[in-house]
Structure formats: C-alpha cells, structure tokens
Structure 1
Amino acid sequence: MRLFAPLIALCLAAPTAHAQCGGAFSAFVDGLRSEAVSKGHDRGTVNAFFRNVRQDPKVLRADRAQGVFQKPFIEFSRRLISQNRIDRGRAMAKKYDSVFDRIEREFGVSRGVLLAFWAFETDYGGFQGDFNTLNALTTLAHDCRRPQLFRPQIFAALELYEHGDFDPARTTGAWAGEIGMVQMLPRDIIENGVDGDGDGHVRLKTSAPDALMSGGKMLSNLGWRAGEPWLQEVRVPDTLDWSLTGPGQTRTVADWAKMGVRPRAGQLAKGSLPASIILPQGRKGPAFIAYPNFQVYFEWNQSFTYVLTAAYFATRLEGGKVYDAGNPEPGLSGTQMKQLQAKLQARGHDVGKIDGILGGGTRAAVQAEQKRLGLPADAWPTAALLNRL
C-alpha cells in the first residue's frame, strides 16, 4: 500500500491558452487532442493515444486521502523504517554496487539517498502502483487543483508513446502518474532518463540500473551538490535561541558550533557550509543539522515529514545511528491542528490549505506566534499555544 506522497518534481511551465480544467471530461479530452495536434503531433497518433482514456475516480480519492502526513515525524519515520527495509537496502547496495559507484562518480549522489527513495516509493521495486498512468494524469489534469502540474505531463507521455516507450493501455504506476522503481513523471523521464544497463532503452519499471541512474541524474539536475552531506543528527544546548531554527533559516556550520551545536556522532561538515537546525517535534525531540543538499529533497517532494524521514533513512542505510527521540511535548490532534491553522490564518499568516498537516507554512506561522507570545519559538505546536491563541 502506498502510504506516502508521490515523488513530484514541480513542473514550472507557464499556463497556456489550452490550460483549462474541469467541465465535461469528454470535452476536456477533445481539448487535449486539439492542443496536441497544434503542437505538431500527428493527428492519427494523437487519436490512438487518447482513444481509450477514462476518468478514474480512484485517483481523486487517493489524492484527497493523504492522512498519513498528519502524523508527526517520530511516528511517521517509525512506520516507514523497519529493520527489514534496512537489511534489504544494504543487500541492494551490495547487489548494485557498481551501479551506485557509477552514480556517485557521475552525479555525486550518495547511494543511501537513492536507496531510501527506492525503498519508500516502491519497496525496492516490489510495488510500483497499478493505476493506468494516462488515466491518472488526465484525471488529475481535469481536476482543477493542480492542472499546471499534470497537464504538461500528458504531452510528455505522448512523446514517450511516439518513441515506443509508453503504452496508453498498459503503462501503470502510482496514482499521481509516476512510473517505475523510483517513481518519475513522464517529463522527468524525458529529461533525466538514463540507459543504465546498456540495452538501448530506458525502462524504469524493470531495470534497476536504469531507474537508479535516472534518479541520480534527476537529483543532480535539481541541484545536488556532489560529495556534500545532507543531514546529520546533533545535540543542541538548552540555551539555543529557538527562533533561529527551522529549514528556512541558515547559519554557517561554524556559527552553529559556536552556539553549542554538537554532532551526536562523527564530525560536523566544514565550517563555511550553510546549514539549518531542524527540530521536527520541538526543542525536546530529535534534532538535526540540515546541509544544502537537504533542500534538494523539497524539489522532489513537498512534504516536510516525508523529506526529513527520507533524508534520515539515507543516513541509516549508510551506517548512521537510530536518532534520539528525546521526550517531546504532546502535539495536536488533526482537529486541533485545523483549529490552530484557522487561528493562524485569521492572524494573517499564510498556512495554505487548512488540512491538519504541519507543513512549512504552518511551522513558520507557529514559530512567529510563539516568538510574539514569549514562548520557546521551536515551531512545534502544542495545546498551550492553541489555548493562548
């Protein structure tokens, strides 16, 4: 069962005159056909591509049922990370050692990073999703929540179809249209696909070398800095200015060290590197220092909890210790979190959708209100803060 958000590299293409959504589904598909022909695609090919496309209500239900992201980091990470997943990851690292060596050499991406994505997205290729990909993309493009993301992916899938690398009737994947072992959208496959096994094709569903090499190239193109760390567990002093913490605030590693931040194991990265202190469940819970590569994760997935868990799991797969969970203050229920978001929104904070999920906007608003009220500004919402508001 897919328990986590899809890997989505946001498409930044500007809307066009054809970028409408909603209305009758058949009319919407007719608009897609017209746009495809206007882009220069053969009309017969376009008609064959769209011949059997259908709206899939299961896709919409999946899109609106991501309650797992309401879970705090400790619970979420323990749910996704098991000893079996660690053991299998290390076995896969050994099995594809030469592939990971090549990825590290060509793209500078450490093997633990890709292993973690591979594990979380498809359980090392074991379950890649059984949604018809064209139906999923068309359904989500027709839905008016994020048409600017999904509509361009349909035309990318058409391009793959023209090259013989996509079957409208048989290509399947995740509910949000991603394909293959590390779950990539069609446009990302076109831009980052790599023939890792040398057979002349890029087959992300059946070839682990193809999937891993393509994932490595994608991370590199998203800005991954070769040879640099991404995340490290630290200990922070009780005297730290909590308002300086959070993924949106950086100081140099040397500055953090002067403030008393210490690695739980090993050494901190070089002192000139910019870094943030991440406290996923406040000052009394786990603490991490996040380096520039950590931000690249958000180009692949927008969920803070998923990103932190994937980054942490990558360190575990490379021999890192189990984090110290500490003793965080109790958080809020989903209902309480929605109440909090409504109160924050009423005070002028941009928290996005009131969905009960502690995302980046809500964290920043919580921290700002904690600071205003004279509370420890660690961005962890509690009943005390809710009551004060």
Structure 2
Amino acid sequence: MTSKFSLALLLAGLAATPAMAQAPACGGNFAQFLEGVKAEAMARGVSGEIATRALRNASIDKKVLSRDRAQGVFRQTFLQFSKRSVSSNRMQVGAKKIKQYANTFARAEAEYGVPAAVITAFWGLETDFGAVQGDFNTMNALATLAHDCRRPELFRPQLLAAVEMVGHGDLDPAGTTGAWAGEIGQVQMLPRDIIEYGVDGDGDGHVNLKKSSEDAIMTAAKFIKALGWRAGEPWLAEVSVPSGNFPYEKSGLDSGMTLGDWTALGVGFRNGQPTSQNLPADLLFPQGRNGPAFLAFPNFSIYLEWNQSFIYTTSAAYFATRLAGAKPYDAGNPGDGLDDGAMKQLQQKLAARGHDVGKIDGILGGGTRAAVRAEQMRLGLPADGWPDQALLGRL
C-alpha cells in the first residue's frame, strides 16, 4: 500500500532556496533539473561528492509515471477487503512475528507506547511482513515524480531526503528499491520520514528498513507515536447495537459522544469493554447497520493519518484487534450497496441538494457518507451512512 503519510509531513520545509530559483522546480531538461536538485542538496549541507554520486545515474522511469496516472480507486466494501487482508495466513504469520521479535516489541511499547499488535498489523498489510516491498529503483522513482510537474511539492523534498540518506549510508542509489511512489522498506516509509523518525533497532549504526525487522518495528513505533498515539488506550472495539428505535444519526466520525454515552444507549462489547466511560468514542458502521459495528476511539485517528481510505484504516485497526486477541467480527447480513453507476448517480443527486461529496467518482468517501447520513435523517430513514437502492429511489 502507498500514500499513507499526511501532507503536513510531506510539505514541511519547502522554503525556496537560491538553487531552486536558478533551475526549474520541475519539468524541462532532466539533466538541468538534476543539477538544480544537486545545488539545493549542497545548499542544505550535503557534500558535492555525495550529491553527485546520488544523482549521477538517475533517470526517468516511465513505469512510475504510468502507475502514477493509473492509480486505481478503492471500490471494495469493508467485508470484501477485510476478509481478504485479514487472512488466516496473515494472522498466523503475525502471531509468529510478535513472538519472534518479542524483545523489540517490548522495547517499542516501553519507549513509544505503541502495542505490538498495532505495529504488526501495519507491517502485514503494507508488505506481508517484508515479503513484498516493491522493485522500483527508489532514486529513479523519486527523481521521476519530482521532475514531473503534477506534484513536485510532494516529491522534490523526498528526492532531497533520499540524497541525504545516501550520505548516511542508508540508501544505495543503484540498488535500493521500493514502491513506485518512493516508499522504502518493510513498513513502506518515505525518505524524509525515515530521516526524521528512523531508529537503529538492531544497533548496527544504520537505519535499514528493507532488511532489518528490528529497525522497521522501532521506526514504525516512533512514527505512530509522533502522529499522536495515546499509550494505554484502545483504538477500535467491535460492538453490538440494540434493535429497535436506535439513534443511528449519532453514528459516524466526530460524533462528540463518549463511551459512557454509547453504553447508556445499550451498545454492548463483544471482546471486553474499556474502563474509561469518559473516553471519546465514535460508532462506525463500515457497511451499514446490518453489518459489523465498531466503536472507534481517539487512537483510530492515527490510522486515518497513515492512510486516508476509510475501508483500509478500519481493516487495519480491526486486524490489530485480532492480533491482540479479539474474536472475528460478526459479519451480519448487510447489502452490497450501490454499484459504480448507481453510486455516481447518488453523488450527483446529493451534490444537487447542496452536499459536498467531492469528486463524482463512485467512491463512498467521508463526504459522501456524511451526505448520505444527512439525507437519511431528512427522509426519516435509519441514518447509518450506508447508501442503498431505497435511498437512491427516495432521492
């Protein structure tokens, strides 16, 4: 998986330099572009020898451009994606990894407050515990995306960070490979984040997220803590909701509700209840009120920082609860929802009513879910944020 880091982190430190003023920030002659990057790297303290070695053989990778322009959209439902991603094999391998690296995980939790299950779930979903890390040359990928003028503000800082990593001995310009968008290693991190949050977990003097599981575990823990992880608190818990006249309109993110509020409404827990009744909690129905139901706590926001897809983040958080000992969710009997054409038709109708659903793309994102909930409330339907043919027909 890619694109998991917040724009705030990616865009930090983009102040213009004289080097950027002398050469185009993107586009144009590629050799001239690289000279500009080299000059900027040197202005930031990288030696000329290192900058030259890092960029000497960089080239445009047309496969990277093809991947960038053909990014697929996330159309799977929660049940489809979670059943595939939280497989029995991943559960077994994850449990073995937690046992194998027990000392490292214990150190990670002691220093950063992040449990083994949380780190392991990301590790498994990102690269199958290091087995699938990507085969794109990292320097070429970042140079290609920085030179391309679609998003240079995102990728030029990453290219400069990669040059810096060459000087640290943590990136080989010719041999380091990773994802097409420049993420490296077992937990798929971008160069700037590796520099800022990288931890030498195995004590060899380097941060090698490709080969060292100890480095990957400790670095992921430090990064997750930096995103705001609250030690000792839950992140997601499966719940049951009473039948009858339940206030579904209170569900969704940023509800302003607490654990105590939900228990007072009859919400029950399938795997043990957290103790703090004042803990903020949001009720989530990733596939409607007839499917699985979860309470999400403040730590769930960290998942949304890692990856902005609601289905991916909920699946990752659920995977972590399973590794921590929770039972498989009760799938219930939800409908499949709307197909692509019907979802676009729904978004058009919602937009026509003044709702901000973003791009008409057939994707049930946060804006569309909020709009669906608002219309369900207006029409007197259970406001669980899950669109179906009945809602489309009423609109």
Tell which deviates more after alignment, 207-216 or 256-265. 256-265
Cα distance in 2, alignment partners of residues 278 and 125 from structure 1: 31
Residue 285 of structure 1 is matched in structure 2 by: 291
Q: Using the TM superposition, give the Cα deviation of residue 114 of structure 1 relative to its aligned residue in structure 2, in angstroms.
A: 0.8
Which secondary structure state, in structure 1, belongs to the residue aligned with residue 299 of structure 2? Answer: helix
Residue 267 of structure 1 is matched in structure 2 by: 273
Aligned pairs (5 A) from 1:181-330: 181-238=186-243, 239-330=245-336
Normalised TM-score (structure 1):
0.92
Q: Using the TM superposition, give the Cα deviation of residue 248 of structure 1 relative to its aligned residue in structure 2, in angstroms.
A: 2.8
Which one-letter code corresponds to 2:90 in the other structure?
R
Contact 1:13 1:148 in 2 (8 A): no
Aligned pairs (5 A) from 1:371-386: 371-386=377-392
Which one-letter code corresponds to 2:84 in the other structure?
R
Cα distance in 2, alignment partners of residues 363 and 145 from structure 1: 29
Contact 2:46 2:167 in 1 (8 A): no
Cα distance in 1, alignment partners of residues 352 and 65 from structure 2: 29
Cα distance in 2, alignment partners of residues 156 and 110 from structure 1: 29
In structure 2, relative to structure 1, the CA distance for the partners of 1:217 and 1:133 (3 Å cut) is: same
Contact 2:27 2:147 in 1 (8 A): yes
Cα distance in 1, alignment partners of residues 354 and 58 from structure 2: 43
Which one-letter code corresponds to 2:97 in the other structure?
M
Identity of aligned residues (%): 59
Contact 1:6 1:174 in 2 (8 A): no
Normalised TM-score (structure 2):
0.91
In structure 2, relative to structure 1, the CA distance for the partners of 1:175 and 1:245 (3 Å cut) is: same
Cα distance in 2, alignment partners of residues 251 and 363 from structure 1: 18
Cα distance in 1, alignment partners of residues 191 and 160 from structure 2: 9
Residue-by-residue CA offset, 1:37-57 (whole Å, 9 max, x unaligned): 443434443333222222223
In structure 2, relative to structure 1, the CA distance for the partners of 1:175 and 1:281 (3 Å cut) is: same
Cα distance in 2, alignment partners of residues 351 and 55 from structure 1: 36
Unmatched tracts of structure 1, length 5 or more: none
Residue 107 of structure 1 is matched in structure 2 by: 112
Which one-letter code corresponds to 1:13 in the other structure?
A
Which secondary structure state, in structure 2, belongs to the residue aligned with residue 91 of structure 1? Answer: helix
Aligned pairs (5 A) from 1:79-228: 79-228=84-233
Contact 1:7 1:178 in 2 (8 A): no
Which secondary structure state, in structure 2, belongs to the residue aligned with residue 277 of structure 1? Answer: strand
Which secondary structure state, in structure 2, belongs to the residue aligned with residue 176 of structure 1? Answer: coil
Which one-letter code corresponds to 2:250 in the other structure?
L
Aligned pairs (5 A) from 1:35-114: 35-67=40-72, 69-114=74-119
Tell which deviates more after alignment, 32-41 or 184-193. 32-41
Cα distance in 1, alignment partners of residues 85 and 166 from structure 2: 34
Cα distance in 1, alignment partners of residues 137 and 239 from structure 2: 44
Number of residues paired by the alignment? 386
Which secondary structure state, in structure 2, belongs to the residue aligned with residue 251 of structure 1? Answer: coil
Which secondary structure state, in structure 2, belongs to the residue aligned with residue 70 of structure 1? Answer: coil
Contact 2:2 2:179 in 1 (8 A): no
Unmatched tracts of structure 2, length 5 or more: none
- Is 1:349 the counterpart of 2:355? The answer is yes
In structure 2, relative to structure 1, the CA distance for the partners of 1:42 and 1:354 (3 Å cut) is: farther
